[in-house]
Chains A and B, each alone.
Chain A
Amino acid sequence: MTNGARAAVEQVARTSYGRLVAWLAAATRDVAAAEGALAEALAAALAAWTQGGVPDRPEAWLLTAARRRLADAARRKRVRLAARPTLEALAGDGLAADDAAIPDRRLELMIACTHPAIAEAIRAPLMLQVVLGIDAARIASAFCVTPAAMGQALSRAKTRLRDAGVPFGVPDRAEWPARLGAVLDAVYACYGLAWDDLPHGGGPGDLAREGVWLARVIAALLPDEPEALGLLALVLFCEARRDARRGADGRYVPLDAQDTGRWVRNLLGEAETVLARAARAGRPGRYQLEAAIQSAHVARRFGAADWTAIARLYDGLVALAPSLGALVGRAAALAEADGPEAGLAALDAIPRDVAEPYQPWWALRADLLMRLRRCAKAAPCFGRAIALATDPAVRAFLAERARAMRAARRRPARRSAGSAVAAGGRRS
């Protein structure tokens, strides 16, 4: 029975954590208190369910238990004025214990977590914690900071959520695009960490599944927002190819050399379906374009990738969101479509001071110069790309290419599509 109860508690915690926190925090905006009450309720559930069996509606059981704890805590504090709404809300206006229809307020919670008054760097961690219940230590390891620093930053952000006057609701039409954008960016940041991390992850810092989960939640909450669907399609495409970026021996494998048999079919299929649904709205956006680029890349499993089409998609992306990654991705696509000179020209058009610290810029430059057999110029670019790469497997890959270039100086250059940008860029 213990195992059954534990499994039931874990199951509800996994699927319902954010829904319960969102509901509990809605009245007071006190996310920390809501989380504390829910943690106590989960602990109580383990004991109660072990003895008396899992209730019919475990979620409602937890909500009732957490609400009681929240009310007790507010009473103990002699009811600060700010806590009065909690008590009123908890005194039982709507939800009976057996009411399974708990309103889903996760969207409001996510919008609050990404409010302009919350520092951008803490939005993704905050969302991971309050929507998915991931502990600070695990988030810290994904974001490469100490658990203490992450804990402090999260607690500061929650204090702001509670006291700064951040509204807990859906913003009006004028603000909606910007606020939705902030939510999507934070979800993508959660996934992007996992993507940059090693594949086969599974370590404590591997948040890929959580990133995909959040993207699914937001797409389910906003089925008519093409960009929410675009983001889901994008992370599904990435997730499908994640493990194929490494060989069996841990070697780095660039996109053009990836074994298409290792791409996860059902994820690719789902990504295509979601992207097609997004496109039907006729409102393109950054995430839809990024997903469309991924879709064009994985078309290679049916033959060759259409680089002219990819370059055109990058044109659209750069016009909407001219990030450094998009500019370098566009240069790589142009190199494939129109030749290495075109790629180099696109790289040169990026302001040098912006491009200098960006590893993929150097990696692509090295690759294009090599293909033009300008080895003397390519060599130092390889050096910079290797020095800037954070992933040892990418460093090894680039070092090997630089060695091969020196060895092959008098032999005809071998063509290799887009592999240099693959040795760095997220869009690889």
Chain B
Amino acid sequence: MQMMMAFFETEAEFSARTDPERSPAYWGAWMAYMDALRAAGVILGGNPLHPPATASTLRRRGGTRHVQDGPFADSKEQLAGYVILEVPDLDVALAWAERAPCAVTGAVELRPVLTCPGS
């Protein structure tokens, strides 16, 4: 089955990306993790994302377009990236999620990919 694995990070982790002191550790951990996913052959695709401050959220209400500067939800942990996995079941996906660098500080959400009828 295909499973989306979405990574949620805290403000501290987003800032670690560019902090000269912490960035080597931050990127080192993520590179190692992504290498492991690739080596296992379970990853179909995915991307890291810029910090939530770069997000734009649009809503159309009553014929008017509202654009909000910032992410959809205002919460402590924000979407930082995602991958699509090909795994036999949730247990295998959970085992990968457990190894993600953000699992100990933020969160990892797993969501099965919906295969649309007729596709």
B69 on the interface (CB 8 Å rule)? Answer: no
**In the complex, how many angstroms separate the beta carbon of B114 from the nearest chain A beta carbon?**
8
Please tell me which one of the listed residues B87, B112, B119 contacts residue A163 in the complex, with CB atoms under 8 A apart. Answer: B112
Question: A165 near B112 (CB under 8 angstroms)?
Answer: yes
Please tell me which one of the listed residues A115, A117, A165, A175 contacts residue B1 in the complex, with CB atoms under 8 A apart. Answer: A165
A115 nearest CB neighbor, chain B only: B90
The 6 A-B pairs with the shortest beta carbon distances in the complex, nearest first, are A165-B90, A167-B89, A81-B115, A165-B112, A167-B91, A165-B89
Q: Specify which of B3, B87, B91, B93 lies most central, judged by the most chain A CB atoms within 10 Å of its CB.
A: B91
| A residues in contact with B115, CB < 8 Å | 80-82
Whether A165 touches B3, Cβ cut-off 8 Å, given contacts A117-B90, A171-B91, is yes
B70 on the interface (CB 8 Å rule)? Answer: no
Question: B93 near A165 (CB under 8 angstroms)?
Answer: yes
Would you mind naming 14 contact pairs between A and B with Cβ atoms under 8 Å apart?
Answer: A78-B117, A80-B117, A81-B117, A81-B119, A117-B90, A117-B94, A164-B90, A164-B112, A165-B87, A165-B89, A165-B93, A165-B110, A166-B89, A167-B88
Range for the number of chain A residues in contact with chain B: 10 to 19
| B residues in contact with A166, CB < 8 Å | 89-90
| A residues in contact with B93, CB < 8 Å | 165
- Give 1 or 0 for each of B84-103: 1 = CB within 8 Å of chain A CB: 00011111011000000000
| B residues in contact with A116, CB < 8 Å | 94
How many chain B residues have a CB neighbour from A under 8 Å? 14
**In the complex, how many angstroms separate the beta carbon of B8 from the nearest chain A beta carbon?**
18
* Cα A171 to Cα B89 with chains together (Å): 12
Chain A interface (Cβ < 8 Å from any Cβ of B)? 78, 80-82, 115-117, 163-167, 171, 175
* Cα A58 to Cα B107 with chains together (Å): 50
| A residues in contact with B94, CB < 8 Å | 116-117
Known A-B contacts: A163-B112, A165-B93. Give 9 more (CB < 8 A). Answer: A81-B115, A81-B117, A82-B115, A115-B90, A164-B90, A165-B3, A165-B112, A167-B89, A175-B91
| B residues in contact with A165, CB < 8 Å | 1, 3, 87, 89-90, 93, 110, 112
* Cα A117 to Cα B112 with chains together (Å): 13
* Cα A166 to Cα B110 with chains together (Å): 12
A29 nearest CB neighbor, chain B only: B89
**In the complex, how many angstroms separate the beta carbon of B91 from the nearest chain A beta carbon?**
5
**In the complex, how many angstroms separate the beta carbon of A176 from the nearest chain B beta carbon?**
12
B1 nearest CB neighbor, chain A only: A165
**In the complex, how many angstroms separate the beta carbon of A190 from the nearest chain B beta carbon?**
25
**In the complex, how many angstroms separate the beta carbon of A86 from the nearest chain B beta carbon?**
15
B114 nearest CB neighbor, chain A only: A163
A116 nearest CB neighbor, chain B only: B94
* Cα A78 to Cα B112 with chains together (Å): 21
**In the complex, how many angstroms separate the beta carbon of B5 from the nearest chain A beta carbon?**
11
| A residues in contact with B110, CB < 8 Å | 165
**In the complex, how many angstroms separate the beta carbon of B88 from the nearest chain A beta carbon?**
7
* Cα A81 to Cα B1 with chains together (Å): 11
* Cα A163 to Cα B2 with chains together (Å): 11
* Cα A166 to Cα B87 with chains together (Å): 12
| B residues in contact with A78, CB < 8 Å | 117
* Cα A167 to Cα B3 with chains together (Å): 13
Q: Specify which of A81, A165, A166, A175 lies most central, judged by the most chain B CB atoms within 10 Å of its CB.
A: A165
**In the complex, how many angstroms separate the beta carbon of B90 from the nearest chain A beta carbon?**
3
A117 nearest CB neighbor, chain B only: B90
* Cα A115 to Cα B115 with chains together (Å): 24
* Cα A381 to Cα B51 with chains together (Å): 57
* Cα A164 to Cα B112 with chains together (Å): 6
B89 nearest CB neighbor, chain A only: A167
A179 nearest CB neighbor, chain B only: B91
* Cα A164 to Cα B94 with chains together (Å): 11
B88 nearest CB neighbor, chain A only: A167
* Cα A80 to Cα B116 with chains together (Å): 8
| A residues in contact with B112, CB < 8 Å | 163-165
| A residues in contact with B1, CB < 8 Å | 165
A77 nearest CB neighbor, chain B only: B117
- Give 1 or 0 for each of B48-70: 1 = CB within 8 Å of chain A CB: 00000000000000000000000
B2 nearest CB neighbor, chain A only: A165
